[in-house]
Amino acid sequence: MNPAVEQLQRWHDHPDEFVADIWPEVLLDREKWAWQRKFLLDIATEDRVAVRSGRTVGKTSALVFVILWWLLTRSPDALILVTANSQDQLKDANWRQCSKWVGKMPEGLREAFEITSDHIFLKGIDGCYATARTASKERPEVVQGLNAKYMLVLVDEASGVDEIVFDHIVGSLGSINAKMVLTGNPTRNSGFFYDAFHRMAGRFKSMRVNCEDVPSASGHIEDIIVRHGKESNAYRVHVLGEFPTYDDDTVMPLELVEAAQKRDIEPIKTVMPVWGLDVARFGNCKTALVKRFGNWVPKDGVKTWSKRDTMEIAGIVMGEYEATLIADKPAIVMVDAIGIGAGVADRLLELGLPTGVINVGEMPSGKDGRFLNLRAELWWRAREWLEQRTSKIDSPALAGELTLPTYSYTSNGKIRIESKEDMMARAIPSPDMADAFVLTFAGADRRKDHDLYEKRPPRYWANKLTAWAA
């Protein structure tokens, strides 16, 4: 028998031996390899596999091993659909890792694969390939129409994939040899992924991967503890690989925030930006500026500064404003006037910036009586913004802070948001960026066709004329 054929036959039912032969360095990380090996063997023997895990445990590389093993050992009748709830996850994570591991294959085998932006082909074999297709509620049909003798469906970050997408996927698994694999962080207590570990537990071979059992994830664990605390839902989901509990009453559930990070949306151009400025009041707090462009907060739209006095902060914000293109200048800069924030707001008004001054400790603007104060109302407006499927946050730092505060009800039933002081008392960092972000909901979005200049205070133009004359 041809040695190559004999080797492929050996690998057919032993994906762990395939990985060990091709990438022996993987075995050096024993704890990570222990769960990856079990995962590979489960896929070889089961037709439904579900893995919930923390982050940085080697999940993406394990999926790559599965893809390459399946194509090699099931050709010429192998087909793989790889899907996730965001294009970033598919292209920036999964496909980038595919290129990395193919590049590490021995010469001769490496050349057998061709990788494009959304396909992995086994050269010279028609119809044997893996395809990446983003799963969305709006276009569930993209996962349909695929069929092969050896059909494999890999759903990454499955907790965020909508039910209707799974309906289409299950409908495509008609072959006797078809398999479905679900992986991801368990971010919500509902949906198909949740059911795979509960209501449909008897149908799936399931596994949980805990970051605490993978030494190489220690840095990630420390980051989560510092940012969120060990008792948080973030720790449960992204370290322990457990589904969240919401008995801590977080204002912004992890599910909402992570969904806003992963969406593929276009910024809405019909409104002018709104800036929120939260001025530091305590020694360990930071002054934070957040720029919201309608439905979008870009990564570079979140900035912080430490240990700056009133005049310095005003000068920095003025510099940000002057450096901003006219089309992107804010309709208003909302400043919380509590403490030294009042002094900063006064100086910004003096400099001619379109500045809105509020006190979040005052009465809410709404008449429904739901909120204790304006701060609670603004946090709830921000939560409702996150609930929209058109909102997006590109700043991981801001996203991390949004999940920190909790809410409770007063004796007369009003919603109260946990104060910075109370959060710091339980060793939770002050959510300075998050507070700046919610301030943007105190200023109504202005349309882009609004005359930018007609609202400038007279002092603004006086300053401009003085500068030009000089």
pLDDT tens digits, 5-48:
788 889 999 999 999 999 999 999 999 999 999 999 999 999 99
CATH of domain 254-461: 3.30.420.240
pTM: 0.67
- Whole-angstrom Cα distance, residue 151 to residue 172? 9
CATH of domain 3-236: 3.40.50.300
Q: Which two tokens stand for residue 298?
A: 């870009």
HSE-up of residue 329 (Cα within 13 Å, Cβ side)? 18
Q: What is the pLDDT of residue 135?
A: 75
Categorize the per-residue pLDDT at 346 as very low, low, confident or very high, splitting at 50, 70 and 90.
Answer: very high
- Whole-angstrom Cα distance, residue 98 to residue 115? 8
Q: What is the pLDDT of residue 188?
A: 82
Closest CA to 330 of 318, 340, 312: 318
Q: What is the pLDDT of residue 169?
A: 87
Residue 438 has pLDDT above 90, yes or no: yes
More confident residue, 323 or 143: 323
Tell me which amino acid residue 310 is.
Answer: T
Residue 334 has pLDDT above 80, yes or no: yes
Q: Kindly list the domain boundaries of the chain, sorted by start residue.
A: 3-236, 254-461
Closest CA to 22 of 109, 152, 86, 120: 109
Residue 367 has pLDDT above 70, yes or no: yes
**DSSP class per residue in 401-440:** HHTS-BEEE-TTS-EEEPPHHHHHHTTPPP-HHHHHHHHT
Share of the chain above pLDDT 70, in %: 91
Residue 184 has pLDDT above 90, yes or no: yes
Categorize the per-residue pLDDT at 375 as very low, low, confident or very high, splitting at 50, 70 and 90.
Answer: very high
Q: What is the pLDDT of residue 468?
A: 46
Whether the domain at 3-236 and the domain at 254-461 fall into the same CATH topology:
no
- Which residues are CB-neighbours of 312 under 8 A, at least 6 positions away? 305
Closest CA to 164 of 189, 148, 143, 186: 143
- Whole-angstrom Cα distance, residue 122 to residue 97? 17
Q: What is the pLDDT of residue 176?
A: 81
Q: How far is CA 230 from CA 222, 226, 257, 260, 354, in A?
A: 9, 8, 19, 23, 42
Beta bridge mates, 274: 292, 332
- Whole-angstrom Cα distance, residue 224 to residue 132? 30
Q: What is the DSSP letter of 267?
A: P
pLDDT tens digits, 77-125:
999 999 987 777 787 778 899 999 999 999 889 999 999 988 999 998 9
Categorize the per-residue pLDDT at 246 as very low, low, confident or very high, splitting at 50, 70 and 90.
Answer: low
Residue 256 has pLDDT above 80, yes or no: yes
Q: Which two tokens stand for residue 303?
A: 């900035």
Residue 450 has pLDDT above 60, yes or no: no
Categorize the per-residue pLDDT at 61 as very low, low, confident or very high, splitting at 50, 70 and 90.
Answer: very high
HSE-up of residue 67 (Cα within 13 Å, Cβ side)? 30
Categorize the per-residue pLDDT at 283 as very low, low, confident or very high, splitting at 50, 70 and 90.
Answer: low
Q: What value does the mean pLDDT take over residues 163-187?
A: 87
- Whole-angstrom Cα distance, residue 165 to residue 158? 10
Categorize the per-residue pLDDT at 249 as very low, low, confident or very high, splitting at 50, 70 and 90.
Answer: confident
Q: Quick one: which H or E segment has residue 36?
A: helix 30-45
- Whole-angstrom Cα distance, residue 278 to residue 358? 11
SS3 state of residue 38: helix
Closest CA to 371 of 315, 416, 421: 416
Q: What value does the mean pLDDT take over residues 436-446?
A: 81
Least confident of 129-138, 283-292, 440-449, 455-464: 455-464
- Which residues are CB-neighbours of 2 under 8 A, at least 6 positions away? none
Q: How far is CA 299 from CA 302, 392, 454, in A?
A: 6, 10, 30
